[in-house]
Amino acid sequence: MRFFMIWAFPILFWSQPDAPWGFYAHSLINRQAVFSLPPEMIRFYKPHIELITEKAVNPDKRRYAVEGEAEKHFIDLDNYGDSALLILPKYWPEAVEKISEDSLRANGIGPWSAYLTMLSLTKAFEEKNSAAILRLSADLGHYLGDLNVPLHTTKNYNGQLTGQEGIHGFWESRVPELMATDYSLWVGKAEYVEKPQLAIWEAVADAHSQVDSVLAIEKQLTEDFAEDQKYSYEERNKLTVRVYSREFTEAFALALDHQIERQMKRSIKMIADFWYTAWINAGQPDLTLLDQAISDEDEKTTPDAKIKVRSHDNE
């Protein structure tokens, strides 16, 4: 995962495993969602807000360590043709029956997986399992955040098919890192979601509808900016690295007309709504009775060289 989209110069680069929304944005989104919860829930979540914030990035760490994790973060709708949103079954059993599971996983299972994570969170509430509630809340926040990123709904996820390598991290990491402190991220109170699975697909459809504008605007700005204006150099971990310049970043955000801020807010609202819905569906258990002493469970996050995931190395 990267805090900024960066290339090496001349051959070195500052990098960590890539993360949709980046460490900073994922953590900020999960953290902000806590404040939209009702009093009955915030009394439990608020004391553990640092855990919810820190664990927001754990699913990305697992991508390189746990087989089957990587495909939970995206869906390449365009691999199914122009009518993907019409022909793809919205529920996993029907999808597996219509399309082989191997094919589904190869093209990403984000929408189905997010819903299954919500069902797991509901069960954790029913069982009043404090550790599982926090872990699954953080995971669900991450997955829902991913599905609100336009470039996580397309096979051209990093602009690699259009000569725009690096746009993935530019959109989700560099822009929020430089500009999110000026965003107004309050989204109101959490609301119950009647049909969560369909709500997920609606979010995916909305994000996918913005893919073309993301790519077209970056391409136009690249034509307008000279190479030495598009990029600048910064110190990262004692290395000099090339990054998108502040001027180019601000121009991109302005041309997108607050798109990234809107998608962050939609992520926050959706996460709070889904946490709340899972709690309601579990029978609104009294969270004040839960064990407040939560151990920080270790997760398998050590990279496994045998696990192959698609690379965003140019972010």
**Confidence band of 13 (pLDDT split at 50, 70, 90):** very low
Query: Is residue 91 scored above 90 in pLDDT?
Result: yes
Q: With cut-offs at 50, 70 and 90, classify the pLDDT of residue 295.
A: low
| Residue 127: pLDDT over 70 | yes
- Reported as a pLDDT band with limits 50, 70 and 90, residue 312 is low
Instruction: Determine the pLDDT at residue 77.
Output: 98
For residue 57, pLDDT beyond 50: yes
- Residue 23 above 60 pLDDT? yes
Residues 6+ apart with CB under 8 A from 290: 44, 128, 130, 133
**Average pLDDT of 55-67?**
92
Q: Provide the residue count of the chain.
A: 315
pLDDT by residue (tens digit) across 205-263? 999 999 999 999 999 999 999 999 999 999 888 899 899 999 999 999 999 999 999 99
Calculate the CA dihedral of residues 61, 312, 32, 199 and round it to 10 degrees: -100
Q: In the predicted model, what is the mean pLDDT of the chain?
A: 89
d(CA 26, CA 30): 6
Q: 20 preceded by cis ω (within 30°)?
A: no
Straight-line distance from the first to the last Cα atom of the chain, in angstroms, rounded to the nearest whole number = 9
Residue 2 has pLDDT above 50, yes or no: no
244, β-bridge pairs: 231
Q: At residue 14, does pLDDT exceed 70?
A: no
For the segment 271-288, the average pLDDT, to the nearest whole number, is 97
Percent of the chain whose pLDDT exceeds 90? 81
**Distance between CA atoms of residues 148 and 158, nearest Å:** 16
pLDDT (0 to 100) of residue 274: 99
Residue 294 has pLDDT above 90, yes or no: no
DSSP 282: T
- Residue 290: closest CA among 120, 127, 130: 130
Q: Residue 238 has what pLDDT?
A: 85
Task: Answer for the pair 122, 36: CB distance below 8 angstroms, yes or no.
Answer: no
Cβ proximity of 257 and 138 under 8 Å:
no
Q: In the chain, where do the E strands start and end?
A: 6-7, 231-236, 239-244
